[in-house]
Structure 1
Amino acid sequence: MKLYYHPLSGHAHRARLFLSLIGIEHQLVLVDLAKKEHKEPQFLALNPFGQVPVLDDGGTIISDSNAILVYLAKKAGRTDWLPEDPEGAAAVQRWLSVAAGQIAHGPAQARLINVFKAPYRAEEVIPRAHAILTLIEATLAGRSWIAAERPTIADVALYSYVASAPEGDVDLLPYPNIRAWLSRIEALPGFVDFQKTAVGLAA
């Protein structure tokens, strides 16, 4: 398998992290976002949306980080990471939607302001980040994982931008349950760290 990625993309990190957690050998292909390689015809042929990550599994092309997580779990038969029962699958899907929604428009956008100079308004996105982190903090009260009694792709989908929230001036100190959850993910065999940037509260 080939994973087209950029080391500062939290979406790409999701896919890279899960590949490592379930022990799938893969080749990393760097897409230079600064040089706009993700907007060149060769890459757009893989993903017309012009975004990383993209997974190439012997000619089967999967784009979108959450879609890649689902594909990998299904292909590997890892029902421990993606349950097949209706209730378990729905619980995971709920948090995949949060990753694509509130996480993307909260802590992810806050980080983009500092890391990539994205034109978002900190006074809007930082409160959104704290709103979803408050909800996650409450969800993790008395439990170890976000969607089940074991880690699932829901945890993988949330991890990267929550862990890097301080880079966007979003303080994790008020969230002890989240910080403990991050440590549990980081202790999993095969964990791969998300490249850090010394900006915001992480400077």
Structure 2
Amino acid sequence: MVLYHMSLSGHAHRVRLLLSLLGLPYRLVEVDLRGGEHRREPFLKLNPFGQVPVLDDNGTVLADSNAILVYLAMRYDDGRWLPRDPVGAAAVQRWLSVAAGEIAFGPARARLATLFGAPVAVDDAIARAQRLFAVMEPILAAAPFLAGASPTLADVAAYSYIARAEEGNVPLTPYPALGAWLHRMEALPGFVPMPVSAVGLAAVA
């Protein structure tokens, strides 16, 4: 199994995290996004959208981080990470949508500005992140994980960019339940951390 990734990409990290949590062997291939490798023909044959991550599972080539998470859970898991019952599956899907929406346009986008100098509306991204965290705080105060008592793809999809929100100048200290959830994720067997960058609030420590 080969994962084409960029080490600082939260989208790529969520796939690497699930691969590790599932105990699956894989090889990492770094894609040089700064050098434009993702816009060249060899990579575009893997993903015409020119985005990481891409997973090649013995000839089955998949793109889009959340789609890859679903594939891995359906192919290699027994229902722990993606429940097979309708209610449980819907609860997870809700958070996959949040990962592609509020997380992508909140903490992920705020981090793009500090880490890569992307021309984004930083104040809007930070405000979106804070509104999201305010919604998540009581949910995680009432349950240990986003979709209930056990970790699922919901948590895997949400973790990476939230764990590094302070790199985008979004503080985590006002949200103790959110912080406790991050620690629970980091204590899971097989956990691999999201790389740390000393930018934004993360550079103050």
1:158-169 paired onto structure 2 within 5 Å: 158-169=158-169
Determine the C-alpha separation between the residues in 2 that align with 1:102 and 1:114: 18
**Corresponding position of 1:65:** 65
Instruction: Answer whether contact 2:22 2:77 (CA < 8 A) is retained.
Output: no
SS in structure 2 opposite 1:45?
helix
**Corresponding position of 2:37:** 37
Determine the C-alpha separation between the residues in 2 that align with 1:93 and 1:200: 31
**Corresponding position of 1:119:** 119
Structure 1 residue 148, shift from structure 2 partner: 2.2
**Corresponding position of 2:97:** 97
Determine the C-alpha separation between the residues in 2 that align with 1:27 and 1:123: 38
Determine the C-alpha separation between the residues in 2 that align with 1:121 and 1:98: 19
Determine the C-alpha separation between the residues in 2 that align with 1:78 and 1:157: 18
Determine the C-alpha separation between the residues in 1 that align with 2:35 and 2:148: 41
Number of residue pairs matched? 203
**Corresponding position of 1:85:** 85
Structure 1 residue 168, shift from structure 2 partner: 0.2
Q: Give per-residue Cα distances to partners, 1:3-48, cap 9 Å, x unaligned.
A: 0001100000000000000100000011011111111110000001
Letter of the 2:8 counterpart? L
TM-score normalized by structure 1?
A: 0.99
Unaligned runs of 5+ in 1: none
Determine the C-alpha separation between the residues in 1 that align with 2:173 and 2:131: 14
Determine the C-alpha separation between the residues in 2 that align with 1:79 and 1:94: 17
**Corresponding position of 1:76:** 76
Structure 1 residue 92, shift from structure 2 partner: 0.1
| Cα RMSD after superposing both structures | 0.6
SS in structure 2 opposite 1:140?
helix
Q: Does 1:140 align with 2:140?
A: yes
Determine the C-alpha separation between the residues in 2 that align with 1:193 and 1:182: 11
Unaligned runs of 5+ in 2: none
**Corresponding position of 2:130:** 130
SS in structure 2 opposite 1:80?
coil
Q: Which runs of 4+ in 1 moved over 3 A?
A: none
Instruction: Answer whether contact 2:20 2:190 (CA < 8 A) is retained.
Output: yes
Q: Give per-residue Cα distances to partners, 1:137-185, cap 9 Å, x unaligned.
A: 1211221000121000100000000000000000000000000000000
SS in structure 1 opposite 2:62?
strand
What is the identity percentage for the equivalent residue pairs of Structure 1 and Structure 2? 60
Structure 1 residue 129, shift from structure 2 partner: 0.7
